[in-house]
C-alpha cells in the first residue's frame, strides 16, 4: 500500500469516527448533557416512562426542575434494555429486563437518552423552570 493511499484510508476512518460520534447527544445545559442529572432518591416521581420492547412509552416527557422520572421495565418477555444518557460520566442504567431506574433533573434543558442495545430506541426529557 502506498503512503498516499494509507493517508486517504486514515482520513476516511477519522471522518467516519467523527461522523458517528455522539450517540443521540443532547442540547443539555452549557453543552454538557450530564449537568443537572442526579441519581433518584426513591421519592415520588413527576413522570413515569415504560421501557417496552424496543420503545420508551412515552418517548418524550416534560417535568419541572428538581423533579424525578422513573423508568419501569414492563411486560412479559421484555428484551434487555438500558436508559443511557450520552457523554462521559453521564448516568446509565444497567441493561436489564425488569425493574426500575430513577433520575432527578435539577437544571432546565433538553436531555436525550437511548437504549444501548437497540438502535432507534430513544427518548427525550425536557426540564422547565
- Residue 10: what are its φ and ψ, rounded to 5°? -65, -40
For residue 26, what pLDDT band results from cuts at 50, 70 and 90?
very low
pTM of the predicted protein model: 0.74
Query: Among 120, 128, 127, which Cα is nearest to 56's?
Result: 120
Query: Among 66, 74, 61, which Cα is nearest to 44's?
Result: 66
Domain map (residue ranges) of the chain: 26-128
What is the pLDDT averaged over residues 62-84? Answer: 90
Predicted pLDDT of residue 31: 53
Query: With contact defined as beta carbons under 8 Å apart, do 97 and 78 qualify?
Result: yes
Place of cell 417535568: 63
Which CATH homologous superfamily contains domain 26-128? Cupredoxins -  blue copper proteins (2.60.40.420)
CA angle 108, 25, 116 (to 5 degrees): 115
Predicted pLDDT of residue 76: 60
Amino acid at each position: 500500500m502506498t503512503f498516499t493511499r494509507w493517508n486517504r484510508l486514515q482520513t476516511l476512518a477519522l471522518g467516519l469516527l467523527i461522523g458517528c460520534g455522539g450517540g443521540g447527544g443532547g442540547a443539555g445545559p452549557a453543552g454538557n448533557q450530564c449537568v443537572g442529572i442526579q441519581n433518584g432518591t426513591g421519592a415520588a416521581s413527576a413522570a413515569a416512562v415504560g421501557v417496552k420492547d424496543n420503545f420508551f412509552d412515552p418517548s418524550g416527557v416534560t417535568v419541572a426542575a428538581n423533579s424525578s422520572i422513573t423508568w419501569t421495565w414492563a411486560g412479559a418477555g421484555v428484551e434487555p434494555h438500558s436508559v443511557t444518557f450520552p457523554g462521559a460520566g453521564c448516568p446509565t442504567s444497567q441493561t436489564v429486563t425488569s425493574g426500575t431506574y430513577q433520575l432527578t433533573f435539577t437544571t432546565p434543558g433538553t436531555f436525550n437518552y437511548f437504549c444501548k442495545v437497540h438502535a432507534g430506541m430513544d427518548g427525550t426529557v425536557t426540564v422547565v423552570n
